[in-house]
A = this chain, B = another copy of it.
Amino acid sequence: MRTYLIAAALVLIVATAAAQTAPPPVVAPIPAPVQASVERLQKAALASDAAYDIVEGLTTEIGPRLAGSEAEAKAREWAVAMLRRNGFQNVRIEPFTIPYWERKVERATVITSNSRQNLVVVALGGSPAANVEAEVARFASMAALTDAAPESVRGKIVFIDEPTIRTQDGAGYGAGVAKRGQCGTVAAAKGAAACIIRSVGTHSHRFAHQGGTSAPRPAPFAPSAAVSPPDADQLTRLLARGPVRVKLEIAVETRANAQSGNVVGEIVGRERPDEIILIGGHLDSWDQGTGAIDDGAGVAITTAAAKLIRDLPRRPRRTIRVVLFGAEETGVHGGAAYARDHTGELAKHVVAAESDFGAREIYRMRSRFGEGALPYARAIQRALAPLRINAGDNLANGGPDVSGLRPLGVPMVELSQNGWDYFDYHHTPDDTLDKIDRAELRQNVAAYATFVYLAAEMDWDFRKAADTPAPTAR
C-alpha cells in the first residue's frame, strides 16, 4: 500500500514537471475593457429570452417553411420585420430562384398473406413520383446494395436497413446521408423499382425522416422514401417470415424556377465597416415539423447574439452581418447564392459561422484558421470557458451555407452544440418548439455573442499563416 502511494506520488511529480517544462500554449491577449464587455454580454445573454422569442415567433406565426414555398416567402417578410425591429441596418432580401419540389402524397402498404399494414414513410426530397407494387429486397447497408448483383434487385423495391449511430458530434449522420443520397441512383442503375431507406435518425418513434437526395441529375433516379425506425424493424421481421410485397405511392409537385432568397441584416462596424463577421442560420425548413431545432434555433441564436452586441455602449470595429439563408434543405441554395453574389467582398470576410445543429448546450469551439492565428482561437476558447465550452481542434466545418466559402479562403468557427438527441427530432414532424430548452438556448447566445464580439472588436487576422510572427505569450 505504502509502495503504491509512493509510486503514485512519483508519477504525479514527474507528470507535473513535464507539464511545467512544455511551453504554454500561446494565447492572444484580450485587453481589460474588451474582456469586461465579453463578461457583460455573457451576463446579458444568460438572462435574456430574446432568442427564444424569435424562434417562438418564427415557428408559431409561420410554421413549416419549405424552400420556395409561399410559407418561405412569408418567413422572409417576417425576418425583415424582425431584424428591423431589433435595430439591424441594411436589412434586405437577396433573391434567387431554385427548382421546387414538394411531396403531395406518400403511402406504403405491406402486403403479406395475412395482413395489409401501412408503413409510416416520407418521400425523400427530389424523388420522382411512384406507383409500384413489388417484392422487397433488404440490404443491411448501402454498401451491400452497391455490391449486389443487378439480377437480385431488378424490378424490386430495395430496402436499406442501415441504422444511424448516436453521437454527440453528429458523426453518425454521415452514413445516413450516404444512403439517402445514393440509394435512388444505385437502385435505378440496377433496375430496381424503388428505394426505401431506414430513416436517418436515432429515435425509435414512428416518424419518417425527411431529407434531400444528392443524386446527380439527370441520372436515372428511383423513387425514394424513408420509413420510420419501428416500421423498418417491422419490415425486417416480416421478411424473416417470407417474401413481402410493398405498394409504394408517391406524388410530387415540381417547378423549375421558384422564388427563394437570403435575408440579410447588419450591425455596421465603427472603424472597419467593410470587414465582415458573417453569422447566421437558415430560414427554410422541411415541411413535416415547424423547423424549431432545424433551423429556427440558428436564426434565433445568431440574431439575438448580434442584437446584444448592438446594445453595447459602443459598436465593435468590424461589421457583423447576419444572414438568414433560404433553401438550405433542398440543396444549400442560399449558401451558393451568397457565395456567388458576394464574391467581390469575400477577401474582407474575417470569419464565418452558421448555427445549424439545434439548440442544445454548446460544448466545444472549433476553428479553421491559418496556423498563425491559433492564438486567437485559444483566446476565444478561453473567453468561452466560463460557459462550459471546451477548446476544440482547427478542423471546423462552419455550417452548410458557409462551408462553401472555406475553399475560397474564409476562416471558419464552429460552436458545436451537443447533438446527442438532435437526430431524435431533426427532419421529422417532431421538430417543434417544445424541443428547445430556454436555458440551453441562452448559453448558445452567450457563446455566439462572445465569439462574434471578439472577432468584430479585435484586429485579429484569422487567415494568418504559421510562418508569420506569433503574438507574444501572456
Binds B, one of A151-159, A351-359, A430-438: A430-438
Q: How large is the interface on A (under 10, 10 to 19, 20 to 34, 35 or more residues)?
A: 35 or more
A348-406, CB < 8 A from B: none
- Contact B60–A433 (Cβ < 8 Å): no
Q: Chain B nearest CB: distance from A62 CB in Å?
A: 5
Q: Give the residue name and chain of the B residue nearest to A78 (CB).
A: B114
A238 close to chain B: CB less than 8 A: yes
- Asked, given contacts A114-B74, A115-B71, A205-B205, whether A233 binds B62 with beta carbons under 8 Å apart, the answer is no
Q: CA–CA, A207 to B430, complex, Å?
A: 9
Q: CA–CA, A43 to B434, complex, Å?
A: 44
- Asked, given contacts A206-B207, A206-B289, whether A432 binds B115 with beta carbons under 8 Å apart, the answer is no
- When distances are taken between beta carbons in the complex, the residues of chain B under 8 Å from A74 are 114-115
- When distances are taken between beta carbons in the complex, the residues of chain B under 8 Å from A112 are 61
- When distances are taken between beta carbons in the complex, the residues of chain B under 8 Å from A204 are 434-435
Most buried by B among A110, A207, A233, A430: A430
- Contact A63–B205 (Cβ < 8 Å): no
- Asked, given contacts A205-B430, A233-B433, whether A238 binds B60 with beta carbons under 8 Å apart, the answer is yes
Q: CA–CA, A395 to B91, complex, Å?
A: 67
- When distances are taken between beta carbons in the complex, the residues of chain B under 8 Å from A289 are 206
Q: CA–CA, A20 to B147, complex, Å?
A: 75
Contact with B along A287-319 (1 / 0, CB 8 A): 001100000000000000000000000000000
A102 close to chain B: CB less than 8 A: no
- Contact A432–B230 (Cβ < 8 Å): yes
- When distances are taken between beta carbons in the complex, the residues of chain B under 8 Å from A59 are 234
Residues of A that sit less than 8 Å from B by CB:
56, 59-64, 71, 74, 78, 110, 112, 114-115, 117, 120, 204-207, 229-230, 233-234, 237-238, 241, 289-290, 428-430, 432-435
| List of 3 A-B pairs having minimum Cβ-Cβ separation, nearest first | A63-B117, A206-B429, A230-B432
Q: 18 new A-B pairs (CB below 8 Å) besides A61-B238, A205-B207?
A: A56-B237, A60-B238, A60-B241, A61-B112, A63-B115, A63-B117, A64-B117, A71-B115, A74-B114, A74-B115, A78-B114, A204-B435, A206-B428, A206-B429, A206-B432, A230-B430, A230-B434, A237-B433
